[in-house]
Chain A
Amino acid sequence: QKEVEQDPGPLSVPEGAIVSLNCTYSNSAFQYFMWYRQYSRKGPELLMYTYSSGNKEDGRFTAQVDKSSKYISLFIRDSQPSDSATYLCAMSPRAAGNKLTFGGGTRVLVKP
């Protein structure tokens, strides 16, 4: 069993819809949680960073962490075709600058 599980998708939504992504994990030592966006044949781009449990909002993006359930989520409001990409969750037990453990990524397609 992988330490971090993520549905590979693809997840197809119409433009303007809310995109809901999530990851589950097994290592209770994870405390730092990140979401990266990766366009085809490009490197991952950091979207959101959260520490421990709670919510964080940044523009159209909201990240949620529920450590008791070992479950994290990313919501994208008012989705745009430019949001079409693969979304990767990543986690670290100590600090975000240390070894990151990634999920397999969810491919998202936003249709105009």
Chain B
Amino acid sequence: EAGVVQSPRYKIIEKKQPVAFWCNPISGHNTLYWYRQNLGQGPELLIRYENEEAVDDSQLPKDRFSAERLKGVDSTLKIQPAELGDSAVYLCASSFGTSGRGEQYFGPGTRLTVT
């Protein structure tokens, strides 16, 4: 079974530039999560989708971050414009069911460096 796929794996951009991350969850997983992980910290939830619906986006900085999950499968997370403080690893995870309590399978992440 294929795991959660993310691309790109690494991205270096200058501040004020836009950037987008893509995630393909495990087939059949209804719930998709985007997390941000700063160095030496645990993952922090940005947004959670149940199928196509964003059910928790309370931690998403909506002035510069946006996300979409068309057709309830793949998802894209965008930052525009990027700031120096956005440098982090962006992790996508998916789980089966819609309770948000199932075991989560994480992708390898995208390491973003903003210069």
Q: Real complex partners, A and B?
A: no
- Chain B residues with CB under 8 Å of chain A are none
